[in-house]
Structure 1
Amino acid sequence: MDKQKLVLIGNGMAGVRCMEEILREAPDLYEITIFGAEPHLNYNRIQLSAVLQGSTTFDDITINDRNWYNEQNIELFTGETVLKIDTEKQELLTDKGRRHPYNRLIIATGSMPFLLPVPGKDIEGVVTFRTIEDCQKMMETAKYYHKAKVIGGGVLGLEAAKGLLNLGMEVTVVHNGPHLMERQLDETAAKLLQTELEKQGLRFLFEKETKEICGSNRVERVSFKDGTEAAADLVVMAAGVRPNIQLAKESGIATNRAILVNDYMETNIPNIYAVGECVEHRGMVYGLVKPLYDQGKVLAKRICGLRGKGYEGTVLSTQLKISGVDVFSVGQFSCDDRLQSIVIFDELDGVYKKMVFEKSRMVGAVLFGDTSDRTRLLDMIMKRQDVSDLEKVTLFQALNRDGNSAASMAHSEMICNCNGVAKGTIIEAVQKNGLTTVDQVKKCTKASGACGGCKPLVADLLNYIHSDEFDEGIEQKSMCSCTTLTEDEVVHEMQWQGLTTVQEVMEVLGWENKEGCSACRPALAYYLGMIYPEYERKQENLYISEQRMAIIQKDGTYTVIPQMYGGKTSAEQLRMIATVAEKFGITNIAVTSEQRIHLMGVKKKDLSALLADLDMQVSSTYGNMVQNVKTSIGEHICHCDKHSSMELAVSLEKRLEFLITPYRVTLGVSACLHNGAGSTTKDIGVIGTGLGWEIYVGGSSGRNVRAGKLLSLGTKNQDVIEIICAFIQYYRETANFLERTWQWIERVGLVHVREVIFDFELRQQLLFRLEKDTMFRKRFSGKQMSGIEINNQQ
């Protein structure tokens, strides 16, 4: 069957990144054609400022070379503009007379530089800063002319100005506002930035509105509405961009400021989609890399027929890419009646830090002079982390006072937010591939390959990895002394070769110790149980009834725990428990922190009879399993309604009982923010809020307490259950034996876990496998099994 024709209008960063995602999801689904108005291959437009400043070259900013297009079987037409979209015939017409059909069409026409509507804007020497040609013109002009005026005091204007300054020109930035970067910085940070740039040689004219650009053969001066003038040989218009929507408009596609799309990047015309700077989503038009890449991922799934979460918008952050200047801002930086801020201003060292809060959640930050904490703060803002329990001033303290913030970051923290590259990913790539330069890291992982703002952090991390202080190696060790294979390699071979018993694994894979050891035997049994659920039923020494029904103690007696889902019971159950305890002389009875009654000291000879008389489901959380859910039903300080939290705990326990895990998994459900169940220090914790449930993962209440990380917030009951069940199943399938949830999250990255759990199709697959496994285990657990001996090895 012939492939459908997928056409992309626009060979820029957003469109081609979307194509990369489509090729990753379904490489053989479409016959792909790309039209690009520029004569170049796909390049990183954001890095043009680095080219102008002399820190990189045009070749270096090429993202995909001609070989890539050929290898992907993409038909590419460069230097060819699409003039018309016939939505009825599903056909395109180009400026070269070409007619090209499509089944699916993606519009990624980006933005166009805004030219001030003033006389003289078209004369020689007036340029914009948007394309390779613009950059080349500026570099060529700098060879023969001296005075440059850059109109626009935003990010683009300042980066262009610094580039021209590096080329030897006398540069003045003309801005119509009172201070620089007013959309990203408050007045204090802007003044500090101005002072630093003036030290480097830039000049500034504020609150100037351009009236006319004057000159005979080429630009000679700029005149302003206040009657003043300034000499100029070159004028760079960097006063902003406008979405390029003319083609869409003329084709009947709905537009406002940009092309209107829904959460799945669909326009109002069937089979036509849009992505990137030409798109308006929920009233927002984005011009930064990360939101455009986020949109591309959503569209790729949609166009490949995969279910996925729609695009919900992106928290915007800005970092100025000028050598010697550290500036970063994210979210809201100005305060009103709803917002409050904390500010630290060190005038001696030129460091300014401002954090803006809405109640107990950080919603914005501005950093100048020291931006080492930008990744941590961005993460807190994106997760809407509640910081009510933190000493706020500690948020300003650098994580590593020795100056290398990369050393103090967790493996799961993002180094490159644009491309979603975590610290652990870079460490692994460096170790496996012997990477020694930032450029090699970029090619291997894409870190610093988008906006380039993380390049200094990548360099810091690379220097740290190659230093004597580095001790964070993540190279996997062998499973145990019996074999040289890692756990991942063992599991792969078990699946590849169809090995079904512990002994067979050891024999086929060449175990040095043919009997195995206390480390590998239980690990192999766990992996076999995950690969072949029926394996557990076949092994007499693995899951015998008393391991499900009772827990053996050191003195040879047993503890029986009647199941009380969520800690709830009834008078009838309590009478039954009391009758059984009296009949068999059980005097050692305790109520645990999990709201369960333990009948301790049961003699082996009485066990079967006691279980028969008890006639209740027995709690089965012995060993590495999902434990009973701790609730806050006994909390007497808080008087909030605990009914919904109890119902949630009961549902979770019934869904997850009998489930074997790599390491014991603790859960807590707290009815409100008082956190009566200690949910933030559980492997999985749930806290009720007025807006829904917050879910935390990877906590630990052991000797070294670890706070859980926020997985989701504002979640409804059914979604909470699905998210938690999918999380546990993914942990079961990908964690190493005896690897704690927090260790697993550190290794694979919380962002990766979120991407899997919140992908609708992947989540449903995980839930299906969990349900299948749970039903099987319930059939062969508890009272349906026979035997009374406990295997102490397990």
Structure 2
Amino acid sequence: MHPAPHETEHLVIIGNGMAGHRLVEALLKRPDRPARITVIGDEATPAYNRILLSPWLAGEMERQALTLREAEWYAEQGIELVLGERVTSIDRAARRLTTDAGRALDYQRLVLATGSRPAMPAVPGITLSGVHGFRDLEDAETLARIAERGGRVVVIGGGLLGLEAAEGMRKRGARISVLQRSARLMNRQLDATAATLLEAELGRRGLAIHTGAQLAAIEGDHHGRVAGVRLADGQRLAAHCVVVAAGITPNVELGREADLATQHAIVVDDHLTTSDPAIHALGECCQFEGTTYGLVEPIWRQVEVLAEHLAANPAESARYEERPSATKLKVSGISLFAFGPTEADAGHDVLAYHDPEQGDYRRLLLRDGRLEGAVLYGDTAMGPWLFSQAQAGSDLAACRRALLLGTADADALLDAHHSDNPDRPAKEAA
């Protein structure tokens, strides 16, 4: 048992997004949590589920469904919640921070969960009125209003977020063009076949997809509003709105101004501790072993590690380590699941199945009987099982011929193989 926290111990969390809120929830489950917790968020609303912004934009759920906790909940839990204020400075020597409202707070431990913002390309016209990102609730509400007025919208970026924004705005009435710099959509997650299937389906829905498209400039009218975009090949597309969804920039300014170690983001160790032992960073604003974050799966694992570290003896607490993540697209009527490398190399055993009539495609990459990557389009039911087998390092050679058919067939073959090989190493267990 660890000793109870000192009655004056004060933890301040800067950022009331999903990462900061998840940390609060994790700490509240622990009897050895810090005695006093304050959460500061620069948005005026309590924490909400950003993952659901895409289906909300598409009109598939009500705004209330996004809320994680109402403001009253924080008070009931004894947590001070400060909304609509931005922390402007951190005095590390005094362990004190100041907000733009003039509020001063002392802390014993501090967590930076300041998130990220859209990465804006350095092209002429990027500051015109009508250029928007898609990161928070205010962005989503703005894009919904624009889409409902109709007209032409150009979305910059053919990755997860760009396609979700494009389809959501299309469903609300806008005419959409998507610009993808790569030769295929979602080039980091999909192989050429799956990307082609995805592009064809989006095209049938009315999205105009431009791959291999290099944005040269955003053009405006004489009122300073967006009028269209110009591509590097000279092509021009009319638009009254441009949505930039081409990557994110970690919000590191607060940490940098406090003279914490920063590179692309705020550098942390495997306890999510910055170069100041009293300050931690979490989520999209942090960087661990050169890696930055945009998916929730690794961030949830960071939360568990940091919650234990804040509540327990640091020498005994868990440590964060990198693990693979899987990708899913949140577009209604399109099922897609992928993980691992997108391209096969000479050492890969490639298994593929394609049923054009049903729109199903599956491709697996194995090396020495172990699964390294998968792309599933259409029927993705087997995705989580395959991902768990890959994470476990399972030897799937015994069920190779069933891997494209379904989990029941594959499990049956694995079980038969295991019964014939009782001494098989535990790490290969399905």
For 2:251 and 2:124, the matched residues in 1 are separated by 23
- Which of these residues, 237, 254, 258, is aligned with residue 251 of structure 1? 258
Question: How does 1:634-653 map onto structure 2 within 5 Å?
Answer: none
Q: Does 1:237 align with 2:251?
A: no
- Which of these residues, 416, 422, 429, is aligned with residue 678 of structure 1? 422
Deviation at 1:27, TM superposition (A): 6.1
Q: Does 1:308 align with 2:52?
A: no
For 2:359 and 2:22, the matched residues in 1 are separated by 39
The secondary structure found in structure 2 opposite 1:363 is strand
For 1:312 and 1:228, the matched residues in 2 are separated by 46
Deviation at 1:400, TM superposition (A): 6.5
Deviation at 1:350, TM superposition (A): 1.7
Structure 2: tracts of 5 or more residues without a match = 1-5, 413-417
Report the identity percentage.
37
Aligned AA (1:72): Q
Question: How does 1:441-480 map onto structure 2 within 5 Å?
Answer: none
For 1:98 and 1:308, the matched residues in 2 are separated by 33
For 2:180 and 2:8, the matched residues in 1 are separated by 52
For 2:402 and 2:148, the matched residues in 1 are separated by 50
Do the aligned partners of 2:88 and 2:98 also contact (CA within 8 Å) in 1? yes
> Residue in 2 aligned with 1:350?
359
Q: Does 1:366 align with 2:375?
A: yes
* Larger relative helix fraction: 1
For 1:382 and 1:400, the matched residues in 2 are separated by 19
Deviation at 1:83, TM superposition (A): 1.3
Do the aligned partners of 1:50 and 1:56 also contact (CA within 8 Å) in 2? yes
Q: Does 1:132 align with 2:148?
A: no
> Residue in 2 aligned with 1:397?
405
- Which of these residues, 89, 92, 98, is aligned with residue 84 of structure 1? 89
- Which of these residues, 16, 35, 40, is aligned with residue 45 of structure 2? 40
How many residues are treated as equivalent by the alignment?
416
Deviation at 1:180, TM superposition (A): 0.2
> Residue in 1 aligned with 2:79?
74
Deviation at 1:358, TM superposition (A): 2.4
Deviation at 1:106, TM superposition (A): 0.6
Question: How does 1:305-704 map onto structure 2 within 5 Å?
Answer: 305-306=312-313, 307-388=316-397, 390-399=398-407, 678-680=422-424, 687=425, 694=426
For 2:334 and 2:90, the matched residues in 1 are separated by 45
The secondary structure found in structure 2 opposite 1:300 is helix
C-alpha distance 695-339 of structure 1, shift in aligned 2 (>3 A): closer
Do the aligned partners of 1:333 and 1:355 also contact (CA within 8 Å) in 2? no
For 2:106 and 2:357, the matched residues in 1 are separated by 64
> Residue in 2 aligned with 1:224?
231
The secondary structure found in structure 1 opposite 2:237 is strand
For 2:33 and 2:192, the matched residues in 1 are separated by 53
For 1:121 and 1:385, the matched residues in 2 are separated by 48
For 1:263 and 1:336, the matched residues in 2 are separated by 32
Aligned AA (2:402): T
For 1:103 and 1:339, the matched residues in 2 are separated by 51
For 1:676 and 1:156, the matched residues in 2 are separated by 47
Deviation at 1:339, TM superposition (A): 3.1
TM-superposition CA deviations, 1:479-504 (whole Å, max 9, x none): xxxxxxxxxxxxxxxxxxxxxxxxxx
For 2:179 and 2:420, the matched residues in 1 are separated by 58
Deviation at 1:676, TM superposition (A): 10
The secondary structure found in structure 1 opposite 2:242 is strand
> Residue in 2 aligned with 1:423?
none
Do the aligned partners of 2:115 and 2:250 also contact (CA within 8 Å) in 1? yes
C-alpha distance 343-73 of structure 1, shift in aligned 2 (>3 A): same
- Which of these residues, 204, 208, 217, is aligned with residue 209 of structure 2? 204
For 1:78 and 1:338, the matched residues in 2 are separated by 53
Do the aligned partners of 2:393 and 2:427 also contact (CA within 8 Å) in 1? no
> Residue in 2 aligned with 1:277?
284
Deviation at 1:144, TM superposition (A): 2.7
Aligned AA (2:162): G
Aligned AA (2:256): K
Deviation at 1:364, TM superposition (A): 1.1
Question: How does 1:93-108 map onto structure 2 within 5 Å?
Answer: 93-108=98-113
The secondary structure found in structure 1 opposite 2:226 is coil
Deviation at 1:134, TM superposition (A): 0.8
Structure 1: tracts of 5 or more residues without a match = 402-407, 410-673, 681-686, 688-693, 697-708, 711-794
For 1:57 and 1:294, the matched residues in 2 are separated by 29
Do the aligned partners of 2:252 and 2:265 also contact (CA within 8 Å) in 1? yes
C-alpha distance 391-2 of structure 1, shift in aligned 2 (>3 A): closer
Q: Does 1:116 align with 2:121?
A: yes
> Residue in 1 aligned with 2:295?
288
The secondary structure found in structure 2 opposite 1:118 is coil
For 2:260 and 2:160, the matched residues in 1 are separated by 31
Deviation at 1:314, TM superposition (A): 2.5
For 1:319 and 1:153, the matched residues in 2 are separated by 14
For 1:356 and 1:285, the matched residues in 2 are separated by 26
C-alpha distance 190-30 of structure 1, shift in aligned 2 (>3 A): same
> Residue in 1 aligned with 2:12?
7
Deviation at 1:43, TM superposition (A): 0.5
For 2:126 and 2:55, the matched residues in 1 are separated by 26
Q: Please give the TM-score of this superposition, normalised by the length of structure 1.
A: 0.51
The secondary structure found in structure 1 opposite 2:372 is strand
> Residue in 2 aligned with 1:298?
305
> Residue in 2 aligned with 1:790?
none
TM-superposition CA deviations, 1:88-109 (whole Å, max 9, x none): 1111111112211100001111
Do the aligned partners of 1:129 and 1:238 also contact (CA within 8 Å) in 2? yes
C-alpha distance 154-695 of structure 1, shift in aligned 2 (>3 A): closer
C-alpha distance 110-227 of structure 1, shift in aligned 2 (>3 A): same
For 1:12 and 1:30, the matched residues in 2 are separated by 22
Deviation at 1:290, TM superposition (A): 1.4
- Which of these residues, 59, 65, 71, is aligned with residue 60 of structure 1? 65
The secondary structure found in structure 2 opposite 1:15 is helix
For 1:206 and 1:101, the matched residues in 2 are separated by 51
For 1:20 and 1:27, the matched residues in 2 are separated by 14
For 1:174 and 1:185, the matched residues in 2 are separated by 17
Do the aligned partners of 2:21 and 2:47 also contact (CA within 8 Å) in 1? yes
For 1:348 and 1:675, the matched residues in 2 are separated by 39
- Which of these residues, 9, 20, 41, is aligned with residue 25 of structure 2? 20
The secondary structure found in structure 2 opposite 1:329 is strand
Aligned AA (1:11): N
Deviation at 1:311, TM superposition (A): 1.2
Superposed CA RMSD in Å reads: 2.2
C-alpha distance 28-269 of structure 1, shift in aligned 2 (>3 A): closer
The secondary structure found in structure 2 opposite 1:391 is helix
Deviation at 1:675, TM superposition (A): 11
For 2:177 and 2:245, the matched residues in 1 are separated by 13
Do the aligned partners of 1:145 and 1:233 also contact (CA within 8 Å) in 2? no
For 2:45 and 2:156, the matched residues in 1 are separated by 27
Aligned AA (2:284): E
TM-superposition CA deviations, 1:667-703 (whole Å, max 9, x none): xxxxxxx9998235xxxxxx3xxxxxx457xxxxxxx
Aligned AA (1:256): Q
Deviation at 1:391, TM superposition (A): 3.1
For 1:158 and 1:677, the matched residues in 2 are separated by 47
The secondary structure found in structure 2 opposite 1:17 is helix
For 1:80 and 1:355, the matched residues in 2 are separated by 48
Deviation at 1:349, TM superposition (A): 1.7
Deviation at 1:142, TM superposition (A): 2.2
TM-superposition CA deviations, 1:11-58 (whole Å, max 9, x none): 011111012111111366321111111111100111111111011122
Do the aligned partners of 1:147 and 1:170 also contact (CA within 8 Å) in 2? yes
